[in-house]
Amino acid sequence: NVHDWQTLSESDIRLHYYGMSAEAANNMLASGIEGLRRNREQAGMTPDIPVDIFVYPNYEDMRDAILYEPQWTGGLAYSDFSIIIMGISGDANWDQDTIIHELTHILVGRNAFTCVGFIPTWLNEGLAVYSEGELDGSMKTQLDLAIRDDTLFPLRTLGGSFSEIPEKALLSYAQSYGVVKFMLETYGQEKMDQLLRDLSDAKPIDAALIERYGLDTDGLDTAWRESVGLAPLVVAQATAMPTPTHVPTFVPISGVPLAVTPTPYAIPTSSFSETESPEVRSGPPILLTVALLCFCLMLLLIVGVIVLGVVLRRGNTKGGDHV
């Protein structure tokens, strides 16, 4: 091992640390235990295996241990392995919130795990931020300004990765928190637990939301917007399906839904009638013919020069022999 790791264990938490005091490590462990309690009470999530938390004494050491991540990354959760990696910021409250935040990612990942399903980022991050408690000052300010100016992101666009631009990322986290807070405080913890179980059964997020809340992603977005005093979200209406043609078409296998669904279009049918026949080319295009002709002439010229040179050289050689 590169570092002299020490370990503290309690309940389902194993905290590994170095370069920090035993008191600080015990405070971090206590934060992990508190995170388990909050997630159990708020969303009904509990760990199925112990969670290992590796705490580095600074962000530089943490980033040396991982591949590329955005510069604002303070911790990482690997739910497949039930492992958290994080660095210490120097702010005890921030660090303890980070443990709770990343621990929630572990629990969401393991409670809603599926090989073929999809957990939208807004739900995952919203639960993680909600588990920390109230929004911190900077996030609250960002969210309040976006609500005042009606510059919130459409919820569907927050289903994938958040922006690496810090200001946009901050608003993405804050907005995700707002939506999840609305879901939990309006509909209760039991429905959230059922939603996560539906996702673990590989049910698409819209179908799972409709099953448990009677709203799809856009409907949930609108309901939350109305709860903070904004107008309903304007959603583009679906385009009617085109009339089938005699040309067979195939629907592609669907993957993770994009923020904008492309409008379907029909494969054009032939415009020729039974009595018409398309124009048939009788030969290659004129430009191609001219180009090929020029190439052949150049080739013949080069060959002629070479042959002439050989003949002249032989003539000179014979003349030299007669002298």
CATH number at 53 reads: 1.10.390.10
pLDDT of residue 105: 94
Question: Is 213 within the bounds of a domain?
Answer: yes
Which of 81, 112, 108 has the alpha carbon at shortest distance from 14?
81
Q: Identify the burial level of 83 via C-beta atoms within 10 angstroms of its C-beta, where 0-12 means exposed, 13-18 middle and 19 or more buried.
A: middle
Q: What percent of the chain has pLDDT over 70?
A: 77
Dump pLDDT digits (tens) for 164-221.
Answer: 898 999 999 999 999 999 999 999 999 999 999 999 999 999 999 999 999 999 999 9
CA distance 216 to 194: 15
CA-to-CA dists, residue 99 to 66, 251, 288, angstroms: 18, 44, 69
What is the model's pTM? 0.68
Higher pLDDT, 222 or 238: 222
Question: Is 318 within the bounds of a domain?
Answer: no
Within 10 angstroms of residue 221's Cβ, the number of other Cβ atoms is: 24
The domain boundary residue, chosen from 216, 236, 256 = 236
Provide the domain limits for residue 216.
116-236
Q: Are residues 98 and 191 in the same domain?
A: no
pLDDT of residue 284: 52
Dump pLDDT digits (tens) for 126-177.
Answer: 999 999 999 999 999 999 999 999 999 999 999 999 998 989 999 999 999 9
Does residue 55 register a pLDDT over 90?
yes
Dump pLDDT digits (tens) for 76-95.
Answer: 899 999 999 999 998 999 99
